[in-house]
């Protein structure tokens, strides 16, 4: 289900998790021990799945909901909710009606126009967008002529996707008025600074943790060092400051 590749990894894990019951009973109390915010990534195969989860979280002490619209919409033949403006807008609007909690919509890069999708979910009530999710990729074992992943294809993440993520974050930040959370191949403080210069108000780290569990802590330290060396008092001062030619 996972294949290491040049510049990152492919995964076909899907969205395996313990489910809302275990999360609410076990994981939320564990997370509440720490001085942090809790962002819950919500997924489903139907609109009803999403609504059920967000309604279950209504009275839980979680701070934000991140709606993963890269999930396959089984009622529309398996295409991801986030690859068409109408379905992205529909799922966002449905979840918006079902919760009062702040809503982040996580966008798929496997689209023709990321800005159109971003504007669609903004119009439907998203409080922020996060991007990018993984890119669809494939590797083949040339000895047995079969795909390395049993699912044939999987999501590509890691440093190789970083330039694509920066481009999409930059485009999206110019197209919407809500905050953008950037992700995709971030593995250093310099990467995070670059992502924020492109327009991200916050940054997520994923694949880098596979090889360095302390990556987020190191990245924050590296960011602070860079800010200090450039006499910048707050990271807020660098958001969206790239100056295109």
> Rounded distance, CA 224 to CA 230, Å?
10
Active-site hit among 40, 54, 69, 71:
71
Q: Which two tokens stand for residue 180?
A: 């953008």
Contact 238, 226 (CB under 8 A): no
Contacts of 7 (CB under 8 A, 6+ apart): 158, 159, 160
> Rounded distance, CA 84 to CA 68, Å?
14
Q: Residues 11, 206, 154, CA angle at the centre, nearest 5°?
A: 15
Contact 118, 172 (CB under 8 A): yes
Q: Given its phi and psi angles, is residue 152 left (phi above 0), alpha (psi -120 to 50 degrees) or beta?
A: left
Q: Which of helix, strand or coil describes residue 118?
A: helix
Q: What pairs with residue 67 in β-bridges?
A: 42, 105
**Full DSSP string of 42-65:** E--SSHHHHHHHHHHTTTSS--EE
> Rounded distance, CA 242 to CA 224, Å?
19
**Angle between helix 162-175 and 114-123 (nearest 10):** 50
Q: Which two tokens stand for residue 237?
A: 């001062």
Respond yes or no: is residue 71 known to be catalytic: yes
Show which residues are catalytic.
71
């Amino acid at each position: 289900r996972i294949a290491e590749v040049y510049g990152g990894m492919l995964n076909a894990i899907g969205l395996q998790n313990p489910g809302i019951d275990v999360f609410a009973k076990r994981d939320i109390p564990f997370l509440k021990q720490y001085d942090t915010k809790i962002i819950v990534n919500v997924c489903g195969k139907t609109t009803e799945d999403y609504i059920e989860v967000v309604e279950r979280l209504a009275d839980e002490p979680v701070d934000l909901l991140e709606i993963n619209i890269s999930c396959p919409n089984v009622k529309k033949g398996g295409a991801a909710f986030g690859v068409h403006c109408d379905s992205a807008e529909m799922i966002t609007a449905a979840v918006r009606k079902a919760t009062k909690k702040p809503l982040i919509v996580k966008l798929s890069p496997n689209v023709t126009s990321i800005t159109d999708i971003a504007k669609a979910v903004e119009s439907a009530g998203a409080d922020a967008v996060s991007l990018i999710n993984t890119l669809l990729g494939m590797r083949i074992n040339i000895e047995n002529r079969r795909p390395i992943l049993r699912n044939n294809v999987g999501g590509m993440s890691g440093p190789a996707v970083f330039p694509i993520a920066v481009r999409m974050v930059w485009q999206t930040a110019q197209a919407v008025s809500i905050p953008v959370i950037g992700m995709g191949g971030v593995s250093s403080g310099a990467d995070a600074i670059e992502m924020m210069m492109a327009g991200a108000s916050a940054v997520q780290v994923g694949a880098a943790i596979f090889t360095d569990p302390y990556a987020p802590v190191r990245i924050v330290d590296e960011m602070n060092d860079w800010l200090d060396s450039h006499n910048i008092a707050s990271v807020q001062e660098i958001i969206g400051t790239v100056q295109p030619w």
